[in-house]
Chain A
Amino acid sequence: MKIVGVAACITGVAHTYMAQEAIEQECKKRGIDCKVETQGGMGIENELEEEEVNAADAVILAVAIGIEGEDRFEEKEEEGRVLTMNPSEVIRNPEAAVDRVLALVG
């Protein structure tokens, strides 16, 4: 099981990175391989490689704004394997967020 994701909030100072941490820690707890790119105030960090996106079983977008490179996930979107959520929601309840991503994989 591999999950990739993007986190981006409005100011890109706090919530972006909190959401990233929330997802990564929850996945670690469950032994799921996971990488989350951040698009915060400093631009793109921890960028996802094309192969990583292709190899992923599901995608979680914890975003409140339009992100760069959204087209990378088009294929996954068509397969119904992309979950979009508000970053603050993910931070409040990472467990439920990861549950919902896993439900996409079925």
Chain B
Amino acid sequence: MSDSMKTIGADLLKAFNTGVSYMMPIVVVGGVFLALSLASGDATAGEGMVVTNPFLKNLGDIGMAGFAMMIPVLSGYIAYSLAGKPGLTPGFVTGYLASVPIGENHVQTGFLGAMLLGILSGYVARWLKKKKVSPTLMAIMPILVIPILATFTVSMIYIYLLVTPIGFFMQWLIGALSGLQGGSALLIGIIVGAMAAFDMGGPINKTATGFTLALMAEGIYGPNGAYRIAVAIPPLGLALSTFISRKKWEAADRNMGVSAAFMGLIGITEGAIPFAVKGLKTVLPSIIIGSAVGAGLGMLHGVECMVPHGGLIVLPAVNQAPFWYAVDMLIGTVVTAGCLHVLRPDIKQSEEQAACPAPSSQAG
């Protein structure tokens, strides 16, 4: 029992690493082109960063295309690692489902959903692949039976067992948040900040976005200010951590730190996703705490942001307490890096733990 659990653990770790391995260059492409484009934009009240130069606008579209591919590729190659080629189709297709709004409540589950879907697709495809069937059927297994059955099964599980309950949960969350309105500013800040970092583009994050946007429509800009501080903190904190806690990151992660820093400055939370996929247990708590601290302080300091975009580049559109906007972001970043320093083991130890199954068969 514990042996098979160990194998599954090793399989999953390898699968997540494979997904990240293929996703990483795409995150960089998306981040760099989007950054170039957004950095040239004007922070416009009510609209976000408006890019007027047509060429830079096209660059922005390239970046968006990169980000659109990122989630499906993650799930596709997680499945590939588990099932080989038959895993790719269900992995890509269901990963795309995670990246777009699905169902009556328009639920988007983002990278957390994609990780789950990648695993599911991989195991279903692997199971189907190993089925013994008659030779006539065998011929159509890889092009007809496996892709259709695996994609259908995984999609159904996702849409009916996962998305629907999450949809209800989101509705409940929105109700609970509106109840908070007018209550403690600090509490609102902390909650909105924690939600921003929780799933980086998933349902919880989207609920927080929706909440702050709804308040903006009513002319209340404080929670949006706090939220926009929070979205920058995960990539910034991870970048800072790779700079100062060098022993706790592999060389590849440290290289990624630089691009994460840029993405943080322009308010692209997604820059933190590759780190999170590889180290959910240490990364998620750290960025949630950091973002919650940054956003909480932002509310206390009365930061108000007029645009629905985050990061340091919207500073011109921060009409109340811009100084604190930057300082609180910095504090949250330092808190995240600090948490990571405490939570993450030095790399030597963790590598040995992560190593493959111990000397298995000597049966030669």
Contacts and interface: CB of A to CB of B under 8 A. Distances in A.
A79 interface: yes
Contacts of A14: 251-252
Interface stretch (B18-26, B61-69, B306-314): B18-26
Interface residues of A, number: 28
A103 interface: yes
B357 interface: yes
A81 B364 CA distance: 7
A38 to B, nearest CB: 14
A103 B357 CA distance: 16
A103 B354 CA distance: 23
B356 A66 contact: no
Given A12-B21, A13-B252, A66-B80, A104 B364 contact: yes
B20 to A, nearest CB: 6
Contacts of B363: 80
Contact of B362 (A58, A89, A103): A103
B252 A64 contact: no
Contacts of B18: 65-66
B361 A104 contact: yes
B81 A79 contact: no
A63 B15 CA distance: 11
Contacts of A13: 252
B175 interface: no
B146 to A, nearest CB: 15
Contacts of B164: none
Contacts of A63: 14
B85 to A, nearest CB: 9
Given A64-B14, A66-B80, A66-B82, A84 B356 contact: yes
Interface residues of B, number: 28
Given A11-B24, A89-B351, A104 B84 contact: no
Contacts of A89: 351-352, 355
Interface in B307-364: 351-352, 354-357, 359, 361-364
A65 B362 CA distance: 24
A11 B21 contact: yes
A55 interface: no
The 3 A-B pairs at the shortest CB distance, nearest first, are namely: A66-B81, A11-B252, A65-B18
**Chain A CB within 10 A, most for which of B20, B21, B84, B357:** B21
A85 interface: yes
A71 B24 CA distance: 26
Given A70-B84, A79-B364, A10 B17 contact: yes
B33 interface: no
Contacts of B255: 11
B111 interface: no
Contacts of B81: 65-66
30 contacts: A10-B20, A10-B21, A10-B24, A10-B250, A11-B252, A12-B21, A15-B251, A63-B14, A64-B17, A65-B17, A66-B14, A66-B18, A66-B80, A66-B84, A80-B361, A80-B362, A80-B363, A80-B364, A81-B364, A84-B357, A85-B356, A86-B354, A86-B355, A89-B351, A89-B355, A100-B359, A103-B359, A103-B362, A104-B362, A106-B364
A32 interface: no
Contacts of B356: 84-86
Contacts of A100: 359
Interface string A87-106: 01100000000001001111
Contacts of A84: 356-357
B77 interface: yes
Contacts of A105: 364
Nearest to A81: B364
A101 B77 CA distance: 29
Contacts of B361: 80, 104
Nearest to B256: A11
